[in-house]
Amino acid sequence: MAITKETKEANLLEVKNLKILFKTDEGIITAVDGIDFSVKRGQTLGIVGESGSGKSVSTWSIMRLLPKNSIIDKNSSIKFHRKSGKVVEITKLRANSRELRKIRGGEVALIFQEPMSSFSPVYTVGNQIMEAVLHHRDVSKEEAQEIAIDMLDRVGISNPGQRFKQYPFELSGGMRQRAMIAVALSMNPSLLIADEPTTSLDVTIQAQILELMNELQEDLGMSIIFITHNLGVIAQVADEIEVMYLGKILERGTTKEIIHQPQHPYTQALLRAIPRLDRIGERLTAISGDIPSPLSRPTGCPFYTRCEKVMPGICDVEMPNATQLSDSHTVYCFLHEEKDV
Amino acid sequence: MIKFLFQRTIGMAVTMFFVSIMVFVIMELPPGDYAERWAFRKFSGTGTEFNEADIENVRVELGLDRPAPERYLTWISDIVLHGYFGEAFAFQTSVNVVIGQKIWLTMAILFSTLIITYLVSIPVGIYAAVRRSSIEDYTLTVFSYLGFALPNFLLALILLYISITFFDSSVGGLFSPEYADAPWSVEKALDLLSHLIIPAIVLAWSATAFQLQTVRATMLDELNTLSVTAARARGVPEWKLLLKYPARLAINPVVSTMSFDANRIFSELPIVALVLGLPELGELLLKSYLDLDMFVAGAILLILTFMIVFMNFLADIALAILDPRVKLIEG
Amino acid sequence: MTTTNLPPTAIQTSASQTESEEALRYYSATQFQLIWWRFRKHRLAQAGALILITMALVGLFAEFFAPYTGVTRISDAVLVGPQMPHFCNDDGCTLRPFLPGIKSERNPVTLGMEVIIDPTIRRDIYFFVQGEPYKLLGLIEMDTHLFGVEEGSIHLFGTDSLGRDIFTRILIATRTSLSIGVIGVVVAFVLALIIGGAAGYFGGGLDYGIQRLTEIVRVIPVIPLYMGLAASFPAQWSSTQVYFAMTLILAVVGWPTLARRIRGKLLSLRGEDYVVAARLAGASPSRIIGRHLLPAFTSYIIVDLVISFPYMLLSETALSFVGLGLRPPTVSWGVLLQDAQTVRAIEQAPWLFIPAIFVVVAVLSFTVLGDGLRDAADPYQISK
């Protein structure tokens, strides 16, 4: 699957001003509050954030998988470059339209945190892979089966022919995760969204899965959006990292920039909070305070309630603008804004 | 799978054994026995005099003087080994003869009721779940409440009234007068079907209401699961999604409660049959209770219960086929 | 870029104070208070409760509310249809309701008795009239009735073939039907607690045996089982004996289901994390049972009980309907419906059906009430 840089755009996905609201019994919640990001071909974008940061919601919206009580703001834009070359404005597509369904799976695939729950328990693994293949590729049933078994083999599942006929509960956790990757890849997507794919696995399996994903990305030239709250994992897989908090992006940059030169207090606090083997015996540094409830979002910068470098009167009034620190490194913080101005 | 079948069959036999003991106890409960009643009736009917010895003779003749456990064994072995259910005293013939014809009718009613119930409740339940909180959903909920509250026999009476007043047809009974004694033909069969509809609808009424809610509730649970979202993320079209994933799982509780439905149907059958004048087992049961003709009553109880236990057995097998997880746990 | 703004904290104080007061009330409320509050939101369930309470009160003081007694026969008014009180006639309208005159005549063609209405005769309806004596609540001798007429008779729901006022009989039947349901459920519950509790406590063989027994009773179709038991009531029994025996068999057949649910609930609760946590914290078994298990348990049990009423009620109605239940002079809705068994009855005297409406309303009220209670008691349900 060779992609020539001259003929195609570098950007696979461009998201601008994405704002997502939810209607609930207790009121309208803003889950994502106007974020911009983009994904380049063959690249991995990592999205880091705590729960409630909006990382899952923003990616699910790319495939319009949000529940019925969600609203995508009309000024938001999600532009996706299809394999055919056509650029589609995802927000304008009708829900469950044919085009959307072709994009789902066939061009953008999603793998979940819970491999057990994402498979239906009453059909075999093979059946579910074949369903995906038959829907997106013009092949016969026999060919689909071959593709499925081949994919199971590709993701490192032993005895793929036998596993094909088994039910999800008959596979171990790691195998199920691989099977889920197999389903996703069998549809030949150009973008893979991995929503916390290794969070529920133990560390050794985690390492294997990450290695697998790296391999497959190189082989297939696929782009990946990798969502996690684990900075250690992200450092291994991502080319670019975004840090999200309560629906906003606070900092964005290459992996090197974010991990080694974090500029936002939140990013810095996250990195400090990682337990280190060379500092055993020291107290862990947690970020003080709790995430505010989305029903009562703080005005201004969402992090100010827990920030140790908070400037009252400044940080709690307005959201800081983007400060460009380098070609790839952007931070949204008044600390840097002042320097800029 | 064989092991599973074997286990279940043994279970069935054990349950039926205990049920038979219970039925026998019920048979023995009414004070006095048939000999006394027979004598009393003979006396009040024909004025024949009788004394203790006569009653005793009748008793011996009917085998009513043996101790209870012995009578139980005779009774049960007759049934199991010879298929002979005893004497129907009131009819002066064997129970088998009296019950024979009616069994088929009862089964026909049972199956037509079940078919109506599932044909209606499953699709409508799925529909209600998908269209949650809409007008259609609320209407169906109201219908379900009514289905539960309105006693079936009243519904039978109402339907009867409507059919006579507005349609001028005698919907009670099994056949229209023209066909009653006629030989079997397509027209007779159709006539039978048209008469079966009313009892089937009446009996299906509350069962449908109940299963509808069950299907709806399970569907609602399943619609929110990750596996449905994951399938959607693979681009599967909505309607196919619904049918293949949640619906398949929503059927499970329906299958597992099949025997409860049968239980409820048999429970209400005697009264509905009385109201609609259907010559089947339930109505016969009622009569035999009023007559204290206990062999008949016992036989019917046994047969009805057996059908329920058997349905339970079938439901277990169906569930094992539908849901692969079951077999693995049992095996 | 910075604009001077008054820190919003000052303005927010009063609003947040009431908010935090409310929050405090909410968090410190007892379990029953929480359930009560949620229940208040459930309009339908409240309506159901109201209807039931009204029925109970009316049933309790039935003789007062009714113009006659359950056995009074008025020979002039056989199979009379329901009579609506009027407020107006040709002479004008008054505040006091009245009934027109009626006469029973034999129709020369059908030879059946017909009721002719004579609009010129006006029979006023009076309130708190003197009528036949009775004993309120079985204790106090009284003869005041809520309403009545001086000439002829008043039959709001018509009469039956023996000339008995159906309105009166329905009111008395309310008492019987509702009380059988209540007593039946209570006795079944007690049985379930004792037997189920013993099974759970002693475990082992006793538990196993009782479980098998439960399964067997549940497999037999319910009403045929009831009938079998009821058929064995000797003919000589008085109607009161039959009444109590009926409640007994309702309970005897009903306890296995209740016991099963209790047992199931207990088992699942025992495994709950908070119970294990309490045990690990060193709580004594009585404290665990008293403060943790019982509260969680009680709300479900109450719901179960309320939901069981309709079954008992419908079972008694069904049994009495076919003649295997209560015996005269005891009146229940089912007994009253016996007269409405045939199509003929529907054609000639459809008002004999009215008790059915009461049955349906009672069952619906119980069901709705039970649903409302269950919604209120289940903390995991998002309030609508």
Kind plus residue range of the DSSP H or E element containing C88: strand C86-89
Q: Residues B281, B6: contact at Cβ < 8 Å? A: no
* pLDDT above 50 for B7: yes
Helix, strand, coil shares, percent, chain A, to 5: 40, 20, 40
Q: What is the DSSP string of B189-206?
A: HHHHHHHHHHHHHHHHHH
| Contact call for A337 and C1, based on CB within 8 A | yes
**8 A C-beta contact, residue A90 and residue A80:** yes
Contact C216 B151 (CB under 8 A): no
Q: A102 touching B, CB under 8 A?
A: yes
C-alpha distance from residue A194 to each of A73, A159, A184, B298 (Å): 24, 25, 10, 65
Residues contacting residue A282 through CB under 8 Å, at least 6 positions apart: none
pLDDT of residue C72 exceeding 80, the answer is no
Residue C177 CB: number of other CB atoms within 10 A?
A: 29
pLDDT at C1: 38
Q: Which of B206-210, B314-318, B320-324 has the lowest mean pLDDT?
A: B320-324
ipTM of the complex: 0.80
Q: How many CB atoms lie within 10 A of CB C106?
A: 10
Task: Tokens 């297939």: give the residue.
Answer: A220
CA distance A56 to chain B (A): 13
- C232/B300 touch (CB, cutoff 8 Å), yes or no: no
What residue in C sits closest to A311 (Cα-Cα)?
Answer: C2
Instruction: Say if the Cβ atoms of B151 and C317 lie within 8 Å.
Output: yes
pTM for the whole structure: 0.73
Chain C contact probe: residue of A297, A317, A340 with most C CBs at under 10 A: A317
Q: How many CB atoms lie within 10 A of CB A55?
A: 28
Q: Which residues of A touch C383 (CB under 8 A)?
A: 25
Predicted local distance difference test score (pLDDT) of residue A47: 93
- Which positions in chain B touch A102 (Cβ < 8 Å)? 235
Nearest to A128 by CA among A100, A148, A114: A148
Which secondary structure element, helix H or strand E, spans residue A27, and what is its range? strand A27-40
Residue B229 contacts A where some CB pair is shorter than 8 Å: yes
Give the gap in angstroms from C-alpha B263 to the nearest C-alpha of chain A: 29
Is A286 an interface residue toward C (CB < 8 Å)?
A: no
List helix spans (H) across B63-151.
68-77, 95-130, 135-149
Chain C positions in Cβ-Cβ contact with residue B270 (cut-off 8 Å): 223-224, 227, 322
Of the candidate ranges A66-70, A321-325, C13-17, C183-187, the one whose mean pLDDT is the lowest: C13-17
Residue-wise pLDDT for B71-84, tens only, equals 777 777 777 777 77
Contact B249 A96 (CB under 8 A): no
Q: Do A25 and C383 touch (CB under 8 A)?
A: yes
- What's the gap in Å between the CA of C28 and the closest CA on chain A? 21
Residue A2 has pLDDT above 60, yes or no: no
CA angle B196, B199, B200 (to 5 degrees): 75
A323 conformational bin, left if phi > 0, alpha if psi -120 to 50, beta if neither: beta
C341: which DSSP letter?
A: -
Q: Is there a contact between C2 and A25 if contact means CB atoms under 8 Å apart?
A: no
Q: What is the pLDDT of residues A188-209, one digit of tens each?
A: 889 999 988 888 788 888 888 8
- Name the range with the highest mean pLDDT among A42-46, A173-177, C326-330, C337-341: A42-46
**Amino acid letter for position C110:** T
The three-class DSSP label of residue C327 is coil
Virtual torsion, Cα C363, C368, C370, C375, nearest 10 deg? 170
Specify the pLDDT at position C156: 77
Q: Which of A25, A299, A317 lies nearest to residue C2, judging by beta carbons? A: A317
Q: Check if A22 contacts B (Cβ < 8 Å).
A: no
Cβ–Cβ gap A317/C383 under 8 Å:
no
Distance separating alpha carbons of residues A248 and A170, to the nearest angstrom: 41
The confidence band for B144, taking pLDDT boundaries of 50, 70 and 90, is confident
The per-residue pLDDT for A244 is: 92
Q: Identify all chain C residues contacting B161, using CB atoms and an 8 Å cutoff.
A: 343, 346-347
Rg over alpha carbons for chain B, rounded to the nearest Å, is 24
Percentage of residues in chain C having pLDDT higher than 70: 69
CB contact under 8 A, A317 and C3: yes
Best residue in C1, C11, C41 for a mutation probing chain A (most A CBs within 10 Å):
C1
Is the Cβ of A313 closer than 8 Å to some Cβ of chain C? yes
Retrieve residue B221's tokens. 């649970």
Burial label, A243 (beta-carbon count in 10 A; 0-12, 13-18, 19+): buried
pLDDT at A71 over 70: yes
Query: Which stretch of DSSP H or E encloses residue C126?
Result: strand C113-136
Give how far the C-alpha of residue C363 lies from the chain's centroid of Cα atoms, to the nearest Å: 7
Q: What is the pLDDT of residues B84-130, one digit of tens each?
A: 777 666 666 777 777 777 888 888 888 888 988 899 888 888 888 88
Confidence at residue A4, expressed as pLDDT on a 0 to 100 scale: 43
For chain A, what is the mean pLDDT? 85
Q: Do B286 and C227 touch (CB under 8 A)?
A: yes
Please report, to the nearest 10 degrees, the dihedral formed by the alpha carbons of residues B143, B148, B154, B155 taken in order: 40
Check if the beta carbon of residue A57 is closer than 8 Å to that of residue A32: yes
Q: How many CA atoms lie within 13 A of A123 on its CB side?
A: 21
Q: Does A63 touch chain B (CB under 8 A)?
A: yes
Residue A76: left if φ>0, alpha if ψ -120 to 50, beta else—which one? beta
Question: Which are the contacts of C136, defined by CB distance < 8 A and separation ≥ 6?
Answer: C61, C63, C64, C142
- Residues facing residue A241 across a β-bridge: A46, A253
Greater confidence, A181 or C295?
A181
Question: C296-336 pLDDT, tens per residue?
Answer: 667 677 777 777 888 888 888 888 888 777 777 788 888 88
Q: Which helix (H) or strand (E) holds C31?
A: helix C31-40
Q: Which chains touch A (3 or more CB pairs under 8 A)?
A: B, C
Taking contacts as CB-CB distances below 8 angstroms, the residues of chain B near C318 are 151, 153, 268, 271
CA B238, B239, B241, B246 dihedral sign is positive
Inter-chain touch A132–B230, beta carbons under 8 Å: no
- Distance between CA atoms of residues A305 and A312, nearest Å: 10
Alpha carbons B314 and B293: distance in angstroms, whole number: 32
Binning pLDDT at 50, 70 and 90, where does residue A336 land?
confident
Q: Please write the tens of the pLDDT for every residue from C242-267.
A: 788 888 878 877 777 777 777 777 76
**DSSP letter for each residue of C153-218:** ---TT-B-TT-BBHHHHHHHHHHHHHHHHHHHHHHHHHHIIIIIHHHHHH-HHHHHHHHHHHHHHH
Cross-chain residue pair C5–A341, CB shorter than 8 Å: no
Q: b vs e for C274-290, b when ≥16 Cβ sit within 10 Å of the residue's Cβ?
A: ebeebeeeebeeeebee
Q: Which amino acid is residue B93, in one-letter code? A: T
Whether residues B325 and A169 touch (CB distance < 8 A) is answered with: yes
Tracing tokens 């009074």 back to the chain, one arrives at C72
